Amino acid sequence: MSQIKGVFAAAVTPLNPDFTPAPEALATYLAFLQQRGCHGALLLGTTGEGPSLSSNQRLELMRSAISIRQDNPDFALLAGTGTPSLDETVVNTRAAFDLGFDGVVVLPPYYFRKAGEEGLLFWYSEVIRRAVPEDGSVFFYHIPPLTGINLTVDFFSRLRELFPNQFAGLKDSSGDPIFCRALGDEFGDDLLVFTGNDRLFSQALQTHASGCITAAASLISPTLRAIWDRYLAGSQLEDLQEWVNGVRELLDRYAPFPPVIKALLANRFGFPHWAVCPPLRDLPQEIVDEISSRLDLA
């Protein structure tokens, strides 16, 4: 778990024009992230269009991703493995650990949103018991704007009590600064909490967060890494955080993120313009040019 800290990119998934994965492109993309200051990456999350991909496609991509360890053994890899299906989630999760991923980030089963905390606690308990080794790290993916499931700090306390070794923490994409602070007050450094909102990065670090996992990290990881490094050195963060806030505000106008990030990776960094999986659509070129002209990316 000591390796799972810092700046993580919520990675996009390279897709061919027919919407099939392009796993051969992953190694180059992940190396790009590592060279620009990322400590690791989350594959197959929301930005990675994980819910749009089959288990076989996820497995193909995970197998390709693990190859980055040959040249970058310290680059941490997390896999998004959650689906509404318990069995499919178990299959995805086992595969990630069998391949050597550092941890998994698991969406709640969002189809039955009114199952309640008891139902969710039972579901996550089954996933952990069936698929997670004793030294495996499971992160809850808390993203109420998409799942419609907004959980309490008490829920995570109970999950931690049941699985003190395997339940490592959560990716908090609630965007709620009050909840962010409550997590820090409750758990301190005993739970690994990653903010999914760039605008909350500095605040999250100051309330015991372990880092960030964001879509924007594919574009602005040097600045996010500078915030991380300054925080560790006890230096001021306000100027860098203000710049990050401006970038995130601009990107938010064009959400969802997969088409935006893929278009800007192609426009500004020379990557192929990877497809997005339906129902997502590519951005019109004039919109891409408009966003690019307003971003000061190095």
Catalytic residue among 13, 29, 46, 47, which? 46
Q: Is 2's pLDDT higher than 60?
A: no
- Over residues 61-102, the pLDDT tens digits come to 999 999 988 888 899 999 999 999 999 999 999 999 999 999
Preceding peptide of 222 cis, ω within 30°: no
pLDDT tier, 1 (very low <50, low <70, confident <90, very high otherwise): low
Q: Using CA atoms, how far apart are residues 199 and 243, in angstroms rounded to an integer? A: 10
Residue 164 · residue 135 · CB < 8 Å: no
DSSP 2: T
Task: List, for residues 166-180, the tens digit of each pLDDT value.
Answer: 999 999 999 999 999
Active-site choice (171, 214, 223, 231): 171
Q: Which of 13, 83, 89, 141 is catalytic?
A: 141
Reported as a single tens digit per residue, the pLDDT across 14-64 is: 999 999 999 999 999 999 999 999 999 999 999 999 999 999 999 999 999
Q: Which of 239, 171, 156, 159 shows the shortest CA–CA distance to 204?
A: 171
Q: Could you confirm whether 111 is annotated as catalytic?
A: yes
In the chain the domains, ranked by start, together with CATH numbers, are: 6-235 (3.20.20.70)
In the predicted model, what is the mean pLDDT of residues 228-257? 95
Annotated active-site residue 110? The verdict is: no
pLDDT value of position 236: 92
Our answer to whether residue 171 is catalytic in this structure is: yes
Q: Would you tell me how many other CB atoms lie within 10 Å of the CB of residue 112? A: 13
Pairwise CA distance, residues 169 & 108, whole Å? 14
**Do residues 155 and 179 make contact, with C-beta atoms less than 8 angstroms apart?**
no
User: Quick one: tokens of 63?
Assistant: 């197998």
For the segment 146-169, the average pLDDT, to the nearest whole number, is 93
Average pLDDT, the chain: 94
List C-alpha distances in Å: 198 to 69, 97, 174, 194, 273.
27, 28, 12, 10, 24
